[in-house]
C-alpha cells in the first residue's frame, strides 16, 4: 500500500460519509435560514433511510433491478417531506415550541420506523440486506486523473449530487430573489411582512426543503454505506449535521467544509483499522470519535461568536413589534 493511494481512499470514503451530512446540514440550513429551528433533522433522516430501504426492497422483489435504488431515493424524499410537514404545521401555523416539536419528531421517527420494520420483516430488528443499492460510478476521463480521479470521481451518484448541491444552495440563497426573501424571513419577519412577503409561505418552503434534503440524506446512508435499515442506521448523524451547520456558520460552503471535517472523522475509524498499531485501541473509542469531535467543536472552537439567523426559533407574531 502506498500513501498516495491510501490518502485517495481516505478522501473517497470521507466524501461518502460526508454526503449524508451535507444533505442533512443543508436541510437544517434552509429551515433555520427561514426562521425555524429544526432539531428534527435526525428524525427526518431516519424516515428517509427507512423509506428508501423499504421501497428499494419492494422494488427489487418486483423486478425493477438497477432502478430500485432510484425508487428508494424518491421514497426517502417523499418521507422526509411528509415528516417536515409535521414540523411546519406545528411550528409555523400552530406556533408551537420548535425545539419540542423537533424532539418529538426524532422520537416518533425512531419508534415508528422500527415498529414498521418489525411488522414487515416478521419481528426482525432490521431489514434484509438490499442487493440493488447504488454502486460507484467512475466518470470517464476524470476518474483517470492521478489521486483526484480516485478520490473524487469514482463514487456514488448521491455523492455527485452532494457536489452539485453545495454551489446550487449557495446560489439559491445568496443570488436569487427567493433566497433574499427566505433569509429576510429568518432575520426579521416584521421587515418581510411589511413589504408584502408572506412569512408563513416562506417558512413552509424552508421547512419542506429541509425535509426533502434530510430525507435524501437518510436515503443516501441506506443506499450506499449500510445497505439495509436498522435502528442504528442514522445513529446521530442528523445531530452531527446540525453541528456542522453551526460550525459552518449557516453558509453552504461553510457547511461543506464542516461536513467534510466530520465525515473525515467517520472515515478515519475505518481507515485506522487498516494499520497494525490500531489493534491496541478499543473499537468503542474509534466509534466514539466523531461524536466526541462534535462536542469539542461545538463547545470549544466555535465559541460564543456564532450567531444564527436572528429570528430563528420564534414564531412570527405580527402584533409584537
Partner 1 sequence: MEQPVPVVELKGITKRFPGIVANDSINLQLRKGEIHALLGENGAGKSTLMSILFGLYQPDEGEIYVNGKRETIDGPGKAIKLGIGMVHQHFKLVHNFTVAENIVLGIEPRKGLSINYKQANGRVAELSEQYGLMVDPKALIQDITVGMQQRVEILKTLYRGAEILIFDEPTAVLTVQEIHELMQILRNLAAEGKSIILITHKLKEIMEVSDRVTVIRRGKVIDTLVTSETSESELAEKMVGRRVSFQLDQEKRAPGPALLQVRQLTVKGHDKGRNVLNDVSFEIRAGEIFGLAGVDGNGQHELVEALTGLRPIDGGSVLLGDIDMTRKSVRERMRAGIAQIPEDRQKHGLVLDFKVSENMVLTTYKDTRFGRGGFIDDKAVDEHSARLVQEFDVRTAGIHVPMRSLSGGNQQKAIIARELSRNPQLLIAVQPTRGLDIGAIEFVHERLLQAKNEGKAILLISYELDELYKMSDRIAVIFDGQIMGELDSEQVDDEKLGLMMAGNRLQEKGGGAA
With CB under 8 A as the contact rule, the residue among 184, 224, 233, 259 that binds partner 1 is 184
With CB under 8 A as the contact rule, the residue among 32, 42, 60, 187 that binds partner 1 is 187
Residue 309's alpha-carbon distances to 57, 188, 245, 298, in angstroms, are: 40, 9, 12, 17
Is residue 191 close enough to count as binding partner 1 by CB under 8 A?
yes
User: How many residues lie near partner 1 (CB under 8 A)?
Assistant: 21
Query: Computed over its alpha carbons, how large is the radius of gyration of the chain?
Result: 20
- Segment contacting partner 1 by CB under 8 A, of 45-53, 178-186, 207-215, 281-289: 178-186
Rounded to whole angstroms, the Cα distance separating 69 from 54 reads 10
Q: Residue 197: CB partners within 8 Å, gap ≥ 6?
A: 181, 184, 185
Query: Would you say 191 or 296 has its CB closer to partner 1?
Result: 191
Q: By rule CB under 8 A, what string of x and - marks binding of each residue 299-318 to partner 1?
A: -----------x-------x
With CB under 8 A as the contact rule, the residue among 33, 181, 203, 269 that binds partner 1 is 181
With CB under 8 A as the contact rule, the residue among 93, 97, 176, 270 that binds partner 1 is 176
Is residue 108 close enough to count as binding partner 1 by CB under 8 A?
no
Query: Would you say 185 or 293 has its CB closer to partner 1?
Result: 185
Least distance to partner 1 from the beta carbon of 30, Å? 17
- Segment contacting partner 1 by CB under 8 A, of 79-87, 173-181, 205-213, 241-249: 173-181
Q: Is 183 helix (H, G, I), strand (E, B) or coil?
A: helix
**b/e for 69-85, b at 16 or more Cβ within 10 A?**
bbbbbbbbbbbbbebbe
Q: Which of 119, 133, 118, 30 is nearest to 80 (CA)?
A: 30
Q: Residue 21: CB partners within 8 Å, gap ≥ 6?
A: 217, 237, 240, 241, 244, 259, 262, 263
Q: Which of 115, 61, 70, 103 is nearest to 216 (CA)?
A: 70
Q: By rule CB under 8 A, what string of x and - marks binding of each residue 112-151 to partner 1?
A: ----------------------------------------
Query: Would you say 279 or 307 has its CB closer to partner 1?
Result: 307
User: For binding to partner 1 (CB under 8 A), which residues are involved?
Assistant: 171, 175-177, 180-181, 183-184, 187-188, 190-197, 310, 318, 321
Amino acid at each position: 500500500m502506498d500513501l498516495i493511494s491510501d490518502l485517495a481512499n481516505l478522501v473517497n470514503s470521507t466524501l461518502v460519509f460526508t454526503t449524508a451530512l451535507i444533505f442533512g446540514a443543508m436541510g437544517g440550513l434552509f429551515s433555520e435560514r427561514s426562521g425555524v429551528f429544526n432539531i428534527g433533522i435526525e428524525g427526518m433522516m431516519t424516515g428517509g433511510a427507512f423509506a428508501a430501504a423499504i421501497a428499494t426492497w419492494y422494488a427489487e422483489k418486483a423486478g425493477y433491478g438497477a432502478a430500485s435504488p432510484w425508487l428508494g431515493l424518491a421514497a426517502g424524499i417523499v418521507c422526509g417531506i411528509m415528516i417536515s410537514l409535521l414540523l411546519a404545521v406545528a411550528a409555523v401555523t400552530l406556533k408551537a415550541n420548535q425545539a419540542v416539536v423537533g424532539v418529538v419528531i426524532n422520537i416518533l421517527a425512531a419508534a415508528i420506523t422500527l415498529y414498521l420494520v418489525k411488522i414487515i420483516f416478521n419481528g426482525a430488528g432490521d431489514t434484509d440486506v438490499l442487493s440493488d443499492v447504488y454502486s460507484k460510478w467512475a466518470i470517464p476521463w476524470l476518474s483517470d486523473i492521478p489521486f483526484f480521479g480516485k478520490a473524487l470521481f469514482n463514487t456514488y451518484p448521491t455523492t455527485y449530487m452532494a457536489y452539485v448541491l453545495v454551489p446550487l444552495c449557495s446560489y439559491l440563497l445568496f443570488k436569487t430573489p427567493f433566497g433574499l426573501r427566505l433569509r429576510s424571513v429568518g432575520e426579521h419577519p416584521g421587515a418581510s411582512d411589511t413589504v408584502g412577503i408572506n412569512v408563513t409561505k416562506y417558512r413552509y418552503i424552508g421547512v419542506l426543503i429541509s425535509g426533502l434534503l434530510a430525507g435524501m440524506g437518510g436515503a443516501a446512508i441506506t443506499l450506499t454505506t449500510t445497505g439495509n435499515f436498522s435502528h442504528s442506521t442514522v445513529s446521530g448523524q442528523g445531530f452531527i449535521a446540525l453541528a456542522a451547520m453551526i460550525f459552518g456558520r449557516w453558509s453552504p460552503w461553510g457547511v461543506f467544509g464542516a461536513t467534510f471535517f466530520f465525515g473525515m472523522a467517520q472515515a478515519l475509524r475505518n481507515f485506522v483499522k487498516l494499520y497494525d498499531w490500531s489493534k491496541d485501541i478499543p473499537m468503542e473509542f474509534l466509534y466514539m470519535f466523531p461524536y466526541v469531535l462534535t462536542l469539542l467543536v461545538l463547545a470549544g472552537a466555535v465559541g460564543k461568536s456564532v450567531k444564527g439567523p436572528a429570528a430563528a426559533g420564534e414564531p412570527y407574531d405580527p402584533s409584537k413589534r
